[in-house]
Amino acid sequence: MITDCHIIPFIENKMLTVFIILSALATCWSLPRRCTPDEEAIGRCKTSAEDRLQCIEMVLGYCQDVTYSYTTFPNIVGHRTRQDLEMGAEYLLLSVIQSLLKGECTPDIRLLGCSVLAPRCQDGKIFKPCRSSCEMVRTSCIHAFEAIEMAWPYFLDCDRFFVGDEEGCYDPLSQLKAKQEVTFANISDGGLSTVLQFIYHSNSQMFSVLKKTAAKCSHISQTYSIGRSVEGKDLLVIEFSSNPGQHDPLEPEIKLIGNMHGNEVLGRQLLIYLAQYLCSEYLLGNERIQTLINTTRIHILPSMNPDGYEVAASEGHEFNGWTSGRTNAQNLDLNRNFPDLTSIFYNRRRFRHFRSDHIPIPDSYWMNKVVAPETYAVMKWIRSIPFVISASMHGGELVISYPFDFSRNPHEDKMFSPTPDEQIFRQLARIYADAHATMSNSDTERCGAAFASKGGITNGAQWYSFAGGMSDFNYLHSNCYEITVELGCDKFPSEEELYPEWRRNKEALLSFMESVHKGIKGIVKDEHGNGIKGATISVKGMRHDITTAEDGDYWRLLNPGVHIVTAAASGYSRVSKRINLPRNLQVGRVDFVLKKVPQEPSLDYFNIPELDNYERFDPFNQFEQYSQRELGENGEERTEKPWWWAYFSQLGISAPTWLLRNY
């Protein structure tokens, strides 16, 4: 390649040499001569007016609102003419970006793209845009591209096509920023608040909102995926914490799950609004929200069944039936797809030393059940984080349901079937129902069932019995206490109902999250001050233990009163303490120090057949592919072409593979 007009390489082939020399001379005669660094240093090189770049009027339709009036060709990325640019995928992307991103990050992206594709030309010179402007837009908008599985455009590479302030750059977003400053000046909070849009969000819009919210509150929030649905959609979680991404000792963890049934959509929307609300109110200095986030790690999964939601949304609220979109893409009801540990609990109650907590998943579940990828992802999630409480948002009734959901008599469909923690569950249910605007009111219109006399709460099996539910699994396999929140009769209410429903449920959601700070917490350590993982915390009279987390910390929900609490671990002594938990105390601190002792055989599973080790999860590796990406020859992730690929593939232009992630 000839890089300068006065440098022509020597080539042995004479005919080829002549051709290259003539071509080079022609190129040199047609281009303005560039000065060498030495000539510039001593001032001997001066560009004549004829040698300057030709600035032409800006006539590109999608770049008419840039801050300058003249551009030039070739542009920064190599388009030699206006026609070349307009026929390229880069310019086509600018023309459709507003539609692709649903209006988000526009006109920012378009103006930034124009500054590269149609650069500013003045006095015969190209002025490059500022790198700082590019980096600002990329930070705030990369989530929108990720939400539609699109790579960041190559021509918006901040290091490659943008320059620093010291190189004489200009800000292509200056006018836009000035307008935004005027707008923000008229808002008393300086633009920190978020205006909630009470409309239904598509899956891509939901992903975009969650990632944008996490970016806005990056010091207290992040998003992460726990897996994928049958059709490959991310099960995206947004987390709020003073230290996002990490478990802090003694900080309790909670989760909120929506849209387990794809056609029960109100909970999905409420959790999207809740995420935006928590971020906005934290930034605005709301002391209640700041205290909640600074002392709690909150995980929100708005949609556990994004595939089912798309089926339900395609019909809309006016035509959606009672079951359209309820199941996942495998036609599996996710709330019947978990291991039936409740039957094991009932069958083993006669054993004196049988534990009603951390019951292992039997091998028969993996061998005889079609395990949905959504179920698999949530089970791994429950096992990986020490959740204390949880709420699963549903629709079809107006009531709070709590475990057990499976009847203690398999022949009785409506039978009161309490857990050992009946009073704790009643209290959790009562907190949400009482804080809800209408749920506990006796005069509230119901959907057929008689819950008004019960204050809007019910034992699940007493309502109707079913096996394989998520709430029973949480209780019997982990430390987590989960309630089911039935939000109303209409599973798919109209958009006009979204704002009133947010108002009815906002206080209930906040009160429920705050209720995790009740009972006792502490750390179980050895004599050297090291935390003991997996130690059991038992309460006399309550046949259900909880276990300590990685650092030896624990949380045990308890109602006020006098309790005998015991900490024990294999190879250590048992230590018991008598505690008095007053009503006005939010949470009590009870630590334990255990001494090493000779290890005795455990009686927990003594003579109890057919129970495997708790750590056996997917023992035959039948379902691990759910949590793995399909990889190509070089280890890159392979994906199907995304839906937006049709915008480019049908126009006969060069395929913009640079927009494909991990291509």
Q: How far apart are CA 244 and CA 293, in angstroms?
A: 10
Closest C-alpha among 470, 472, 348 to residue 418 = 472
636 is catalytic: no
Q: How far apart are CA 562 and CA 97, in angstroms?
A: 63
Closest C-alpha among 485, 472, 347 to residue 419 = 472
Strand partners, 129: 170
What is 516-547 written as a DSSP string?
Answer: TS-SEEEEEEETTS-B-TT-EEEETTEEEEEE
Q: Is 546 exposed, middle or buried (0-12, 13-18, 19+ CB in 10 A)?
A: buried
Closest C-alpha among 43, 45, 5, 48 to residue 24 = 5
Could you count the other beta carbons within 10 Å of the beta carbon of residue 659? 22
CA geometry: angle 275, 278, 279, nearest 5 deg: 90
Strand partners, 401: 458, 484
Element (DSSP H or E) covering residue 235: strand 234-240
Q: How far apart are CA 648 and CA 93, in angstroms?
A: 8
Q: Residue 616: what are its φ and ψ, rounded to 5°?
A: -75, 105
* 366 Cβ contact list (under 8 Å, min separation 6): 618, 619, 620, 622, 623
Q: What is the dihedral of CA 534, 470, 512, 538, to 10 degrees?
A: -30
Among 146, 281, 486, 501, the active-site one is 486
Closest C-alpha among 161, 336, 160 to residue 261 = 336
By the 8 A CB rule, do 432 and 391 touch?
Answer: yes
Q: How far apart are CA 371 and CA 360, in angstroms?
A: 16
If DSSP codes are grouped into helix, strand and coil, which group holds residue 83? helix
In the block, which residue shows the tokens 């086509």? 92
How many CA within 13 A on the CB side of residue 636? 8
Number of residues that make up the chain: 663
Closest C-alpha among 118, 152, 117, 148 to residue 135 = 152
Q: Residue 210: what are its φ and ψ, rounded to 5°?
A: -65, -45
By the 8 A CB rule, do 447 and 489 touch?
Answer: yes
Q: How far apart are CA 361 and CA 536, in angstroms?
A: 19
Question: Tokens for 302?
Answer: 């708005």
Question: What does the buried/exposed string (b/e) look like for 483-514 if buried means 16 or more CB atoms within 10 Å of the residue's CB?
Answer: bbbbbbebbbbeeebbeebbebbbebbbebbb
Element (DSSP H or E) covering residue 300: strand 297-301
What Å distances lie between residue 657 and 89, 141, 152, 328, CA to CA?
Answer: 10, 20, 12, 31
DSSP state, residue 636 = P
Residues annotated as catalytic (active site), given as ranges: 486
